[in-house]
């Protein structure tokens, strides 16, 4: 980068990344990342109040469909841009170079989306984000399928719906927290959700309302930008 951009090495890197992706630092730029097929695009659409087939929706597919960093302005929250990032840990986007290739350090906050299975790649991204001073929110998506499976499991036959959900939330959060702690990440912000439930908050079963409240309270590192309108009413 050399002397093209002023400031410290990190400031130069962020300035180069803003130029590369056309990111305006006067906005609140939220990066949505994670492995392929965890529901990143669906979450963006839900946060924007769009279904997955809206003409302005982030593209979804059963295959890896996001190859470039693309921003989606929130229709109601001024200055909020949600960036859909390619799935990490694929042959096209290997996790070893993903953080720097996709300039994840340019975002004001990262949402790391997880679903079932292992998440070693997510731990690598989270650790790098911490080292670069980028705030991270961890979101465990696709929780409804787990809930439905537990309702069918004889082991849970004596538990009501709330007890099953409480058990799921505690077990899942403890597991994720333990893995993050192993990499040196303490007191993480973790939310267990079903992205589709953001369309019908009155019927939300998990931590969708808590997630929206947390996002509404995020602070821009340099600007006085409010995300208050994300807060559920």
CB 51 within 8 A of CB 41: no
pLDDT on residue 2? 61
pLDDT confidence of residue 65: 53
Distance CA 52, CA 169 (A): 26
First-to-final CA distance of the chain: 45
Please indicate whether residue 132 or residue 117 has the higher confidence score (pLDDT). Answer: 132
pLDDT digits (tens, 9 = 90+) for 59-94: 886 555 556 889 999 999 989 999 999 877 667 777
Average pLDDT (84-107) is 81
Determine the pLDDT at residue 121: 87
Instruction: Read off the pLDDT of each residue in 192-210 and give the average, rounded to a whole number.
Output: 95
pLDDT in tens, 28-66: 999 999 888 899 999 999 999 999 989 898 888 655 555
Sheet holding 189-192, edge to edge: 70-73, 80-84, 28-34, 109-114, 136-140, 189-192
Domains of the chain: 19-220 (3.40.50.300)
pLDDT at 140 over 90: yes
Q: What pLDDT, on the 0 to 100 scale, is given for residue 3?
A: 74
What confidence score (pLDDT) does residue 63 get?
A: 55
């Amino acid at each position: 980068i050399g002397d093209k951009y002023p400031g410290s090495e990190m400031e130069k890197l962020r300035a180069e990344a803003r130029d590369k992706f056309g990111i305006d630092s006067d906005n609140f730029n939220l990066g949505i990342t994670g492995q392929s097929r965890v529901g990143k695009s669906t979450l963006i659409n839900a946060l924007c109040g769009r279904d997955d087939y809206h003409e302005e929706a982030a593209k979804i597919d059963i295959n890896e469909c996001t190859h470039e960093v693309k921003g989606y302005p929130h229709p109601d929250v001024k200055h909020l841009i949600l960036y859909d990032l390619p799935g990490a840990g694929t042959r096209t986007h290997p996790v070893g170079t993903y953080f720097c290739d996709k300039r994840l350090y340019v975002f004001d906050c990262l949402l790391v989306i997880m679903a079932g299975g292992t998440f070693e790649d997510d731990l690598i991204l989270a650790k790098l984000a911490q080292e670069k001073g980028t705030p991270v929110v961890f979101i465990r998506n696709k929780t409804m399928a787990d809930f439905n499976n537990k309702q069918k499991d004889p082991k849970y036959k004596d538990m009501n719906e709330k007890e099953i959900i409480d058990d799921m939330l505690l077990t899942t959060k403890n597991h994720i927290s333990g893995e993050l702690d192993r990499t040196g990440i303490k007191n993480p912000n973790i939310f267990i959700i079903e992205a589709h439930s953001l369309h019908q908050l009155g019927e939300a079963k998990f931590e969708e309302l808590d997630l929206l409240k947390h996002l509404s309270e995020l602070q821009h590192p340099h600007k006085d930008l409010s995300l208050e309108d994300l807060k559920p009413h």
